[in-house]
Amino acid sequence: MAEAPLPAIRSLPSWLLGRAAARGRALVAEALAAEGVKMWHHVVLSAVRDLAPVAQADLGRAVRLDPKDLVGVLNDLQSAGLVLREPDPADRRKNAVSLTDEGTQLLERCERVARQANEELLAPLSADERLRFMGLLIRISGTEG
């Protein structure tokens, strides 16, 4: 049997992490799609819940999304009745974004299906392996502390 192509590349941790990340994103994206939600919509809904009321510019910085792309996502979410953009009480020249009740309910469903997708991703690992794996990912991702 022939060896798989690109053995040098396939042995790199960065390649393996990329493959695992792509599989994880695909699982989560599929689960969210069943709820009628795209990945960035879920990210923004989650950030709005955590930061609300949040100025639109601060929201963009928090999720690292280009302002013009954020406007498109917020337009979609507002049209669907999931977020409100109202004048910021701290600075009426800015918009503050917050979740509607419908947005909160959808976010809860999305979080549930995203957790299930991540459970599927990590299914080959034991509970102890999952804890170690998550700790290692945090260390190498630079998101500690």
8 domain residue, yes or no: no
Segments in the chain forming alpha helices (H) = 7-10, 13-34, 39-51, 56-63, 67-79, 101-122, 127-141
Tokens 């701290």: give the residue: 90
**Burial class for 136, CB neighbours closer than 10 Å (0-12, 13-18, 19+):** exposed
Domain presence at residue 116: yes
- Which pLDDT score, from 0 to 100, does residue 88 have? 82
pTM: 0.86
Q: Are 94 and 87 in contact (CB under 8 A)?
A: yes
* Tens-level pLDDT at each residue, the chain (145 residues): 566 778 888 889 999 999 999 999 999 999 999 999 999 999 999 999 999 999 998 999 999 999 999 999 999 999 999 999 998 877 888 889 999 999 999 999 999 999 999 999 999 999 999 999 999 999 998 876 5
Is residue 41, in this structure, part of any structural domain at all?
yes
User: Residue 145's pLDDT is what?
Assistant: 54
CB 100 within 8 A of CB 80: no
pLDDT at 2: 63
> How many distinct structural domains can be found in the chain?
1
* Contact in structure between 74 and 44 (CB atoms under 8 Å): yes
- Does any domain span residue 13? no
Determine the structural domain holding residue 99 and report its residue range: 20-140
Residue with tokens 């459970």: 119
Residue 108: give its domain's CATH number: 1.10.10.10
